[in-house]
Structure 1
């Protein structure tokens, strides 16, 4: 437990007030341990070439073609007196330093392959507990969208606005958490920052902002704070998958992403259920108070028990501690060296420009983001039909209508065992000895998921009538869980595998596009279902989803060839 709490917000506070006497790190208990694990190859590259990677392929080719006299000084024996005049030696490793290009820097690394502070080496208990915390945070924020929808009728009465205007409280929240990751997700990748300050800082503000939201004195104030809370609370919706990727190797990552996906599904599903009974008893403001209490509990839990998962931030802070302990200012780590050269312009480019450019320049990213956005939009527009069906046709009250969403949750739980069995028996054996998998091998579950979406919409639409028992549309709704679970897990594992160097940007772009659809679609949901009827409105959505079924099949067949023509995608597998 001490190891778990040491790298949390609470742990850092305890270390601060005890001057590092509690929750000590390995280098504080043994000040010499780091010397045994200096990265000598990177230190040599820094000394000779001024960077940790060494010569690029082009530079190596130029060097091989050059005459012997012009080759790097590292090829010359130190015994030459004239050469020694142009060289210094590192005081730590004794490595010769090129005075023109080299830097006297000693590269700090992990304490061996089994370093317990490396997130991939954490114990199973620690990994599972941290995954639970990420899932709880995701659920707490995601429920904030749908929990409001239960109170839209009360909002109409309270502020005297139309049904469509009242729906803006939902859509602006969704739009906010689509825009937020454009800033928060790339910031969490910066070694100086890490993921915890983003999670904890934004969640604290998110909780505080629920107060003026619930106490809104006019409709404009309500909409303003709904957008702000969505924007502020959004980091985990895009970065949660990256946090899980920090602690699980690719071979096991899909299992954890699957559980995280269930937490994401539970949010919109449980929102109307929890919010429905609250609105019945106390009005729409109680949906916001419930959201504040849930997120407040999550905030307290995370302050005490969520450790930093970013390996670059962990290594950076270790290097800072070593400089303070030893007084040796030449100690550096690779993430720190990389961050030194990041300008404000480059950070802005990563945060705001790259997710959009990758989305429209990469055919793979565009197709999959468009597909996931469509499914996400269908989810939110379809949710708007539940009051029409279960209140209007079957005569449920507001609380009972929330119970109708449980079919979606049950479907999500049912699909987990066969999916995990498939991962264990089919996917895992395809990984090579280096723990790598061809990205397209992540896509077959999407073949099934693609057909489940239209099945759900047709089933739900044509079974929602007074002559048919209410259990039938609820059973049909479970197929949406099958489809979204399999599609989201395939895509959220495929994109980082296909674009490993730009995973954060690709996922941020995915979140932006799907949230844009999720924000816009509910605005015309009521008119669509009222004018077309439940059967034909759902069928229209079903036909639209059928048009996108070929996408995973095409990418499975041609994805490798498309990646070979991309400058950003992985081409070596």
Structure 2
């Protein structure tokens, strides 16, 4: 239980109240660990200053004495504890001691040298990649729970669209804005909020909890909206404030898992992300039938409130930058030596406001429109995302209009999609284990284009699903047939989303945060726009031809992963920002 609560908000509060005796860190239990996590460092500005970018290949960098090259100036910088003082050459003017820890720094180089705080070895238990499998799975589940809560917040509203039109006297297209503005909010929010989790002073956990708290509280004025404008405003705001988890959840998973295992975590995360919009109409349908659209928001309040409580109690910090930053603060407090620093805070100290703005706001756009790989993959993912939300609009038309389902039971027709989400995971994981894992090299890297194999397979499932669903949705065909056909969409979606996300992060490891932020914005913009005309399209063209049109659109992109699998490395090597070493 101590391991579960360690580094959570509750643990921070108890340490503040009772000091280091509450949930002590390993170095507080054993002071002899201090020297192993301190390394003399010259010219700390030599490293690339990509502070706000998530290093998805190896975010939890560690080093030990046998892994770090010895410093040319190590004779001038000494760190010792009680049992090592005999080795010291003397106590100079730069030495400060407290609690048995001594740090001796050559005063002539005090302005240029830094004592770097790092992991005290490859088995450091504070390193998230060294956590037990049980703790990693628990944190993965909590990350998925918060992601599920956010994504279900979009589609749960769709069940109440008719109720909104009746309450506020607006058209159905206008009422659909309650869905699209929420989606647009969680697409634009990460551009400003997600980079905060990369700042070492913040970390990921406080950003997630603060965003969840705001998301929960703001459900109250949303449910109590007295006019249509108020409803739309709060739907956008709630999507905006809750958005960081959607952009950086993958980075949180990468904090804990090595690259060859990361795809499994991303796969589970993707399963929750895809299944949440499916569950929204099912959960919301019964609430709307009984009490109107406001109860869909109350349901969202209960779910997000439960998620908030669980996060506060059990969600630990996963950012290696933040963990090492706080470790450096603890050692500075013990030694009174300002030269003791973590690499992340050194990097952050040299990031200007202009650099932060460039990373957060400008770079996602420039990467999206100047890198062919990023543009093509973002377009593909955005199209699939838009088709999903557009296709959802046909379910009431088919199952209520054609098959006569009662209003509150229309949501049950989405269960085919949920079954498809579950069925695709075992074979996909088998593919990862038997085919992809053996192709990682000794450094834990893989050629990014190999991810395209799964994308190629997934690309065919989308149009097959849409053709099957569209032309089987008729009175002469049992309702179960289009439901079975709908299960093919998530098979393609899970393969596409997971493979493309891993492909992008492996191709642009130094710019992963910007690439994924741009993807999220573009994907959400498409997803927000398509539902506005989907209802009219299905009514005017008919279910068969409207689904065929969407299927043909998805067919246009099928050659893309094939071409990238064959020529992607050549394109990547021609880029100035993409990775060239594999």
With the length of structure 2 as denominator, give the TM-score of the two structures: 0.90
Give 1:154 deviation, angstroms. Answer: 0.4
- Could you tell me which residue of structure 2 aligns to residue 254 of structure 1? 263
Report SS of the residue matched to 1:20.
helix
Q: 1:355 aligns with which of 359, 364, 369?
A: 364
147, 153, 159: which one aligns with 2:156: 147
What are the within-5 Å matches in structure 2 for residues 220-299 of structure 1? 220-299=229-308
Q: Deviations over 1:336-357 (max 9, x none)?
A: 1101101111111111111111
Q: Are residues 1:427 and 2:436 paired?
A: yes
Distance 1:460 1:232, change over 3 A: same
Distance 1:241 1:517, change over 3 A: same
The alignment partner of 1:18 has SS state of: helix
Within the candidate set 295, 301, 313, 1:304 is matched to 313
Shift of 1:74: 6.4
Structure 1, unaligned runs of 5 or more = 55-72, 79-87
SS at match of 1:332: strand
Alignment match, 1:37: 37
1:505 aligned to 2:514? yes
CA distance in structure 2 between the partners assigned to 1:336 and 1:400 by the alignment: 54
Give the stretch that moved more between structures: 26-35 or 292-301: 26-35
On the 8 A contact 2:45/2:347 being kept in 1, the answer is no
Pick from 184, 201, 215 the counterpart of residue 193 of structure 2. Answer: 184
Q: Structure 2: how far apart are the matches of 1:337 and 1:193?
A: 15
Alignment of 1:72-111 (within 5 A): 103-111=112-120
Q: Is the 8 A contact 1:52 1:334 kept in 2?
A: no
* Contact kept in structure 2, 1:464 and 1:535, CA below 8 Å: yes
User: What is the SS of the residue equivalent to 1:107?
Assistant: strand
Paired residue for 1:5?
5
1:22 matched to which residue of 2? 22
Question: For residues 243 and 349 of structure 2, what CA distance do their matches in structure 1 show?
Answer: 28
Does residue 564 in structure 1 map to residue 564 in structure 2? no
Residues 152-205 of structure 1 show CA distances to partners (whole Å, capped at 9, x for unaligned) of: 000011100001000000000000000011112211111111111110001101
Would you say 1:171 and 2:180 are equivalent positions?
yes
Specify the SS of the correspondent of 2:200: coil
Q: Distance in 2 between matches of 1:314 and 1:442?
A: 31
RMSD, aligned CA: 1.9
Q: For residue 343 of structure 2, what is the aligned residue in structure 1?
A: 334
Which secondary structure state, in structure 2, belongs to the residue aligned with residue 150 of structure 1?
helix
- Structure 2, unmatched stretches of 5+, are 49-70, 77-91, 96-101
Match for 1:51 among 45, 49, 58? 45
Count of residues in correspondence between the two structures: 538
Whether the 8 Å contact between 2:504 and 2:515 is mirrored in structure 1 is yes
Mean Cα deviation higher: 245-254 or 15-24: 15-24
CA drift at 1:96: 6.9
* Structure 1 residues 500 and 360: CA distance shift in structure 2, 3 A: same
Residues in 2 aligned to 1:447 and 1:474: alpha-carbon distance in whole angstroms: 24
The answer (yes or no) to whether the contact 1:93–1:106 under 8 Å persists in 2 is no
| Residue in structure 1 matching 2:526, options 517, 541, 544 | 517
Contact 1:90 1:104 in 2 (8 A): no
Contact 1:31-1:325 at 8 Å conserved across structures? no
Deviation, 1:53, is 4.3
2-structure distance, mates of 1:33, 1:445: 45
Equivalent residue of 1:139, what SS?
Answer: helix
Match of 1:383 in 2: 392
Structure 2 contact 193–244 (Cα < 8 Å) conserved: yes
CA contact (8 A) 2:185 2:240 kept: yes
- Which residue of 1 is the match for residue 420 of structure 2? 411
State the distance in 2 between where 1:93 and 1:207 align: 47
Shift in Å, 1:27: 2.1
| Aligned counterpart, 2:499 | 490
Residue 106 of structure 1: SS of its match in structure 2?
strand
* Deviation, structure 1 residue 33: 1.7
